[in-house]
Structure 1
Amino acid sequence: MDEAPGLSDQYRTASPWPVFIALGIPISELGLLFDLFPLAVGGLLLFGGSVVGILKESGYVTSTIRAVTALAVIFLAFGAGLAFTDIALVTRGYAVIAAAILLAVGGVVFELFVREQRQTF
């Protein structure tokens, strides 16, 4: 009797990105809610990197640098909205801006130094 009926080697394994997205959102929310700068930045980096990873893996984007740049611009706009309004959310806005900058720098470093591995079958 087959242990995994209907499955064969032609199907890929499950993607790890949804778990990291699901962890990045609450970590960043806890950091933003309780005004914990490193936790907010780390959670936003985990969330942003995972979103870009899942977009690349599923084939929606061909270049990771464009996806990272677009997400960094969205984070930057959101962070600027938080930091430069009259509401007392300045440190939270700075956390989102810092995450946007680190995400963009990480995307550039990834694009420059990590070579895409081609699989040959």
Structure 2
Amino acid sequence: MVEEPGLSDQYPTASPWPVFVALGLALSEIGVFVGLFPVAVFGLILFGGSIAGILTESGYVERPWPTLLGVGAVLIVVAAAFTVWQVPAAEIALSNVGTGPLLTRLVAVAVAGVVMMAMGSVASIMEQTAA
């Protein structure tokens, strides 16, 4: 009889998702607060995808795609709200991305949300056509 402490009979192995949630959160914080655009986008995508994966694995949702769409939409709304709230109206233009640190960070959050929504939409469509 092999005994594995901390694991039940229902779950014979540990889930990898908490590691990816923590890694995604850390990368997104570093990327957003330090201003590293690709790191922020990748970290937010990893974080959102891990949330979708952990909710699917735990049985709270059947498929991860709606969760991915929801997290992407939340990121877009938060980025838009902070842009309207914190960035002067004269500076809100795509030509100013990269010149102002706040606008660049908010665009990174919005881009991550758009990518997550695109991934969730495409995957959902592919899943429906395959069935």
Q: State the TM-score, normalizing by the size of structure 2.
A: 0.75
The answer to whether structure 1 residue 105 and structure 2 residue 121 are counterparts is no
> Post-superposition, which runs of at least 4 consecutive aligned residues in structure 1 deviate over 4 A?
5-10
Following superposition of structure 1 onto structure 2, how do residues 11-50 of structure 1 map, counting pairs within 5 Å? 11-50=11-50
Please give the alpha-carbon distance, in whole angstroms, between the structure 2 residues aligned to 1:42 and 1:73: 16
1:85 equivalent in structure 2: 85
**Structure 1: tracts of 5 or more residues without a match:** 116-121
Q: Percent identity?
A: 42
The answer to whether structure 1 residue 61 and structure 2 residue 52 are counterparts is no
Please give the alpha-carbon distance, in whole angstroms, between the structure 2 residues aligned to 1:100 and 1:8: 36
2:90 equivalent in structure 1: none
Contact 2:52 2:65 in 1 (8 A): no
The residue type paired with residue 4 of structure 1 is E
Work out which structure has the larger RCO, using CA pairs closer than 8 Å and 6 or more positions apart in sequence.
2
Distance 1:10 1:59, change over 3 A: closer
Question: Alignment RMSD, CA only?
Answer: 2.3
Contact 1:27 1:43 in 2 (8 A): yes
Contact 1:84 1:90 in 2 (8 A): no
More helix by share: 2
Q: Select which of 76, 100, 107 maps to 1:94.
A: 107
Please give the alpha-carbon distance, in whole angstroms, between the structure 2 residues aligned to 1:46 and 1:5: 29
**Structure 2: tracts of 5 or more residues without a match:** 88-100
Q: State the TM-score, normalizing by the size of structure 1.
A: 0.81
Q: Any idea what SS the aligned residue of 1:13 has?
A: coil
